[in-house]
Structure 1
Amino acid sequence: MAGVQGQLYLIGLGSNMRHWRIGPPSAVVGKAMAALEDACEVIAASAILRSAPVGPSAREYANAACVVRCALHPPAMLDLLNGIENAFGRRRIGQRWRQRTLDLDILLWSGGAYVDRRLIVPHREMRGRSFVLGPAARIAGTWRDPFTGLSVRHMHARLTKRRPLPR
């Protein structure tokens, strides 16, 4: 959707469940990027990476990140992302971190911070997740967290750097 004016968003994408029609999680993430492109202009997209599960889920994830330009403000963008998740069969019931067909998160927004009862940007758990920061650092490494002032690349390096063992 070329020529869209508006906000820039860094979006995290993840899947750890096969979709009956689309296929494995990596295909789900790829199709989700295409669905985003129907509503927004995709400026950059990372490769789709595999990562270990979080929480009680035993299934491996496919994760990616993309930067999109969209005329929507954060609450409307959240509604768009939730609509795409629902179209892919996402159901928000049960325990946290369970298997899911698709998970789309607003990680950062060009407008800085945004907080209301439904949405907090930057994403609260982004800073502690290498499976989020890794793909994001590849395409938006210089974007800064408005609360910490750290770039995505710096947050990823801090999270993944090897610390010497204590003596």
Structure 2
Amino acid sequence: MPSTYLIALGSNRRHHRYGAPQAVVQAAMEELAAFGTVTARSPIIATPAMGAAQRRFANAAAVLESELDPPSLLAACKHTERAFGRRPGQRWGDRVLDLDIVLWSGGVWASKMLTIPHPAFAQRRFVLDPACAIAADWRTRPRGLRLIHHQARLTRPRPLPR
């Protein structure tokens, strides 16, 4: 039986064939079909640079139905990143393509190489905003909150310090 995955996509560097980061993310969404059936694609949004990155990012999310287990899907995503020209480098630096497995219909996965849910997804608007556009009601484990609730927690106004 296939599993369902939420995949986050991001780029902030041009690609020699696809061009600007938005086009890189669009091409990568098409490549995900090699791993199963893409059942939903979010709009591609522009987001500010984070960490050591210098350029704005193009970010999106996709829902993928796949026969691959989480480690096999991770290996396929890493292979795709390398095929798009990603090289090992500085954490949170500029990159041609970043593919992250955020959620899995099987719930929680923990190994040396992969943790699902993605450990930082609930603190990242660049993940939650596109994800909520296509899967707002997806319940996350272990707490059972829907993605829309994580987004609300991250974006709700907070009082100014006194």
Q: With structure 2 as the length reference, what TM-score do the two structures score?
A: 0.97
Q: Which amino acid aligns with 1:48?
A: I
CA RMSD of aligned residues (A): 1.0
Q: Is 2:66 the partner of 1:70?
A: yes
- Per-residue deviation, residues 52-93 of structure 1 (Å, max 9, x unmatched): 01101110000000001000000001011111111101112x
User: Within 2, Cα distance between the matches of 1:78 and 1:166?
Assistant: 42
Indicate the residue corresponding to 2:47 in structure 1.
51
In the TM superposition, structure 1's runs of 4+ consecutive aligned residues that sit over 3 Å from their partners are none
Paired AA for residue 71 in structure 1: E
- In the other structure, the counterpart of 1:158 is 153
| Residue 127 (structure 1) aligned with residue 122 (structure 2) | yes
- Count, aligned residues: 162
Give the structure 1 partner of residue 135 of structure 2: 140
Identity %: 49
For residues 125 and 141 of structure 1, the distance between their equivalents in structure 2, rounded to whole angstroms, comes to: 17
The separation in 2 between residues aligned to 1:103 and 1:39, in whole angstroms, is 16
In structure 2, the residue matched to 1:25 is 21
TM-score calculated relative to the size of structure 1:
0.94
Which blocks of at least 5 consecutive residues in structure 2 are unaligned? none
Give per-residue Cα distances to partners, 1:80-119, cap 9 Å, x unaligned. Answer: 1111111101112x32011000000000000000001100
List gaps (5 residues or longer) in structure 1.
Answer: none
Give, in angstroms, the shift of residue 40 of structure 1: 1.3
Using the alignment, how far apart are the partners of 1:166 and 1:101 within structure 2? Answer: 39
